Amino acid sequence: MEIKKDETLSEWFKGARAQGYSVPVAMCHGIQIAMKELNMSFAEVFELFVERAIIIQVGKTFIYDLRGHKALVPKG
């Protein structure tokens, strides 16, 4: 699903749901936390999460790794 550069998480969520996408609420919460912790926009966090397979889209369903932004930090 396309994300507009200046789109907010709330706008995207409402649009996605209106188009029949299944979006976990935990994913939205995780994106909000990452936006704050990483000081990034919604579009930047979403793109990063997709690149790192924290968010995976299968058809109209989004699958979210519950580790969220913590999955970006190597253990050790």
Long-range pairs for 17-24: beta carbons < 8 A, 24 or more residues apart? 19/60, 20/60, 21/60, 21/61, 21/62, 22/60, 22/61, 22/62, 23/62, 24/62, 24/63, 24/64
* Per-residue pLDDT, 75: 63
Whether this prediction's pTM lies above 0.85 is answered by yes
Low-confidence ranges of the chain (pLDDT < 70): 74-76
Tell me what pLDDT residue 44 has.
94
